[in-house]
Amino acid sequence: MIRFLLNDQPRDIEYIAPDLTILEYLRTIEVQRGTKEGCASGDCGACTLVLAEPSEEPGKLLYRSINSCITFVGSLHGKQLITVEHLQQGQQLHQTQQAMVECHGSQCGFCTPGFVMSLFALSKNSGVCEFDPQASNGEAPGNQPVNPEQRHQINLALGGNLCRCTGYRPIMDAAAQVLADVQPDQFDARQAEVWQQLMDIRTAQAPMAGLTDPGCPVKPLTERRFFSPQTLAELVELLARYPQARLVAGGTDLALERTQQLKPLDVLVYTGAVAEMQQLTLTDETLIIGGAVSYSRMASTLQLVLPEFASMMERLGALQVRNQGTMAGNVANASPIGDTPPVLLALDALLHVDSAEGQQTLPVNGFFTGYRQTTLPKGAVISAIEIPLNKSDWFRRVYKVSKRLEDDISAVLAAIMFKVENGLILDARLAFGGVAATPLRVVAAEQALIGQPATLAGISAAQQILKQTLTPLTDVRASAEYRLQLTQNLLTRALLEFQQQANSDGSASVALEVGHYA
């Protein structure tokens, strides 16, 4: 059984399909249809809802937006699910709704509930910027143009919500209006009470949270279950007991098997409630990121020690995906176009792998063996990712190139890092996504950099090697030729940026990336 709050109503659910999405649940079982399906693949945000979870600070809840179309009901245990129908009080619209109305933020209205929910989450987190703790604290006065920092904050919050009608300007205005003066609301008033309710659910002595399908029309004899273990030991035991089980971390890719290919997912094991996998540990030497830590949660820590990684991550999926997705999931998924594996390769990261046999540590270098194939043993889980922080004196860049700035999959992702002393490259890492069947470190090109001067001439041999050794595909996102050209040109860009940084004598530098210019 799982227990959660649907707005302010408790729900106990035991018998339900384990692969039912929250969106399907709301629209067909609860018959609450304010939440819309735009794509059922987590790409448009029309189904955005907000989850409230207890924070470590007593009485305080954390609010985060999610795509309900690719989130399973089973993951709701111990959480509050807030839907668009619940924001208004009687005839009184919530501040976020009122702002959307006043700014003419809706035209056809179909994307609007999703925008309202993202805006609601933004208003709840207005003092907590996802990536840059220095960014605007929402003090912008109402009559000023949306300033760049605030615009950036709004773009991060709403980048996963597509609108085809408005061109977004009025929605941007509505968001700025809300951020200028966030009003206390009924959620604030009940926050402590809800916090306690959710804590009570979470600490109740009960069997492991989970769901059981009452009867599956497709495979009547198959056991169909959703498990939400609370410890790593429980988790690996489940994996041993159910060899067919699929792990759900963020589930932002796994859910598409169900919503797009319509495959039943019979046994699901959710990592989100496993205490050990929620740890985020930063020391002088390493950053250890628990396997269930979402991208959003790791953002501010990454910003401290690996800012180039953090700023790329602002463009990994959209906020709804970053609120769910995990780095461990990205690695285990082993897609050649995943955004974090090339960076982890360049950083010489290690994977903590747990199974019924015990724990082992695998270097990420060598982990990817073929298209979506890894050396992860059967019945094992990536419980954490360990990033050595031994490249602080390296020049490090992470570049993502895609058709669209926000919420797009890379044509090429490049992690380029080198250590230079006295003008000579002493060591280097070149890792790419989108150029082969796996995320790839190009050791031969790294070798060609070592000993060379940090100049355009010095990198040309490495560029030749990239050109000769990489074998990208032509697909819907980019041609092989473009990808190959990008790998070389991005190395050029990194070198130019290095030179600019090295020569920075106070004279104005010239922008080299459109993102820096615009």
Partner 1 sequence: MRKVELQGASSPENELTLATNPSAIPNGIAGLDLVSGPVGKPSRHESAIQHVTGAARYVDDLIEPANGLFAAVIRSPIARGTITRMDLEPVRKSPGVVCVLTVDDVLGHTDIGPVFPGDPIMTSTEVKFFGQCLAVVAATSELAARRAAQAAILEFEREEPLLDAREAVASQQLVRPSHVMTMGDVDSALASSHQVLEAMQEVGGQEHFYLEGQVSLAMPTEDGGMLVYTSSQHPSEVQKLVAEVLALPLNRVTVDMRRMGGGFGGKESQAAQWACLAALLASKTGRAVKLRLPRQDDMIMTGKRHPFANSYRIGIDEAGRITAADIEVIGNCGNSPDLSDAIVDRAMFHADNAYFLGNARIAGHRAFSNQVSHTAYRGFGGPQGMMIIERAMDDIARAVGKDPLDIRKLNLYGTEQSEPERTLTPYHQTVEFNYLPQLIEQLETSSDYRARRVAIRQFNQHSPILKRGLALTPVKFGISFTLQHLNQAGALIHIYTDGSIQVNHGGTEMGQGLHTKVGQIVAQTLGVELERIVVTATRTDKVPNTSPTAASSGTDLNGKAAQNAALTLRQRLVEFLAAEKTVSPEAIRFENGRVSWGGSEDMSFAELVQAAYVGRVSLSATGYYRTPKIWYDRTNARGRPFFYFALGAAVSEVVVDTLTGEYRVTRVDILHDVGRSINPAIDRGQIEGGFIQGMGWLTTEELVWHADGRLLSNNPATYKIPAIGDTPPVFNVALFEHENDEATVYNSKAVGEPPFMLAISVWSALRDAISSLSDYRLSPDLDTPATPERVLKAVMAVQAQCAQNGMTGGAV
Which residues, numbered 202-221, are part of the site for partner 1 (CB under 8 A)?
217-218
Tokens found for residue 218: 């497709």
Query: Residue count at the site for partner 1 (CB under 8 A)?
Result: 101
Per the CB < 8 A criterion, the answer to whether 442 and 432 are in contact is: yes
Residue 222 C-beta: closest distance to partner 1, Å? 14
Q: Which of 201, 204, 199 is nearest to 59 (CA)?
A: 199
| Given 16, 82, 129, 162, the residue binding partner 1 (CB under 8 A) | 162
Of 358 and 517, which CB lies nearer to partner 1 in the complex structure? 517
Angle between helices 95-102 and 112-124 in degrees, nearest 10: 130
Regarding 311 and contact with partner 1 (CB under 8 A), the answer is no
Torsion of CA 489, 492, 494, 499, to 10 degrees: -160
Torsion of CA 362, 366, 372, 378, to 10 degrees: -40
What residues from 321 to 380 belong to the interface with partner 1 (CB under 8 A)?
none
Per the CB < 8 A criterion, the answer to whether 386 and 349 are in contact is: yes
| Given 278, 365, 489, 499, the residue binding partner 1 (CB under 8 A) | 489
Tokens found for residue 300: 């501010």
What residues from 411 to 470 belong to the interface with partner 1 (CB under 8 A)?
411, 456
Note the helical H segments in 159-185. Answer: 169-180
Of 43 and 354, which CB lies nearer to partner 1 in the complex structure? 43
Regarding 186 and contact with partner 1 (CB under 8 A), the answer is no
Regarding 182 and contact with partner 1 (CB under 8 A), the answer is no
Tokens found for residue 108: 């056809």
Of 292 and 398, which CB lies nearer to partner 1 in the complex structure? 398
| Given 56, 57, 90, 143, the residue binding partner 1 (CB under 8 A) | 143
Residue 60 C-beta: closest distance to partner 1, Å? 27
Q: Interface with partner 1 by CB under 8 A: which range of 185-193, 230-238, 300-308, 505-513?
A: 505-513
| Given 409, 420, 431, 442, the residue binding partner 1 (CB under 8 A) | 409
Q: Interface with partner 1 by CB under 8 A: which range of 222-230, 324-332, 366-374, 504-512?
A: 504-512
Of 431 and 495, which CB lies nearer to partner 1 in the complex structure? 495
**If you write DSSP's letter for every residue of 217-265 in order, what string do you get?**
SS-TTS--EEEE-SSHHHHHHHHHH-TT-EEESS-TTHHHHHHTS----
Regarding 172 and contact with partner 1 (CB under 8 A), the answer is yes
Of 87 and 466, which CB lies nearer to partner 1 in the complex structure? 87
Residue 401 C-beta: closest distance to partner 1, Å? 5
Residue 128 C-beta: closest distance to partner 1, Å? 20
* Angstrom distance (rounded) from CA 247 to CA 244: 10
Of 100 and 385, which CB lies nearer to partner 1 in the complex structure? 100
| Given 154, 292, 449, 466, the residue binding partner 1 (CB under 8 A) | 154
Per the CB < 8 A criterion, the answer to whether 194 and 215 are in contact is: no
Residue 141 C-beta: closest distance to partner 1, Å? 10
| Given 107, 279, 447, 469, the residue binding partner 1 (CB under 8 A) | 107
Q: Which of 238, 293, 247 is nearest to 72 (CA)?
A: 247
Where does residue 201 fall: left (phi above 0), alpha (psi -120 to 50 degrees), or beta otherwise?
A: alpha
Place of tokens 């020391």: 283
Of 385 and 486, which CB lies nearer to partner 1 in the complex structure? 486
What residues from 260 to 279 belong to the interface with partner 1 (CB under 8 A)?
260, 262
CB within 8 Å of 474: residues ≥ 6 apart: 480, 481
Q: Which of 323, 241, 226 is nearest to 25 (CA)?
A: 226
Q: Per-residue string for binding with partner 1, 27-66, x by CB under 8 A?
A: -x--x-xxxxxxxxx-xx-x--------------------
Of 177 and 294, which CB lies nearer to partner 1 in the complex structure? 177
| Given 223, 475, 501, 504, the residue binding partner 1 (CB under 8 A) | 475
Give the HSE-up count for residue 23: Cα atoms under 13 Å, Cβ half-sphere. 24
* Angstrom distance (rounded) from CA 503 to CA 497: 10
CB within 8 Å of 98: residues ≥ 6 apart: none
Of 87 and 247, which CB lies nearer to partner 1 in the complex structure? 87
| Given 479, 501, 502, 504, the residue binding partner 1 (CB under 8 A) | 479
- Residue 168 has phi, psi (to 5 degrees) of 75, -20
Q: Interface with partner 1 by CB under 8 A: which range of 278-286, 360-368, 444-452, 486-494?
A: 486-494
What residues from 76 to 95 belong to the interface with partner 1 (CB under 8 A)?
83-85, 87-88, 93
* Angstrom distance (rounded) from CA 82 to CA 48: 10
| Given 23, 66, 81, 111, the residue binding partner 1 (CB under 8 A) | 111
SS3 state at 202:
helix
Torsional sign, CA 309, 310, 315, 321 = positive
Regarding 155 and contact with partner 1 (CB under 8 A), the answer is yes
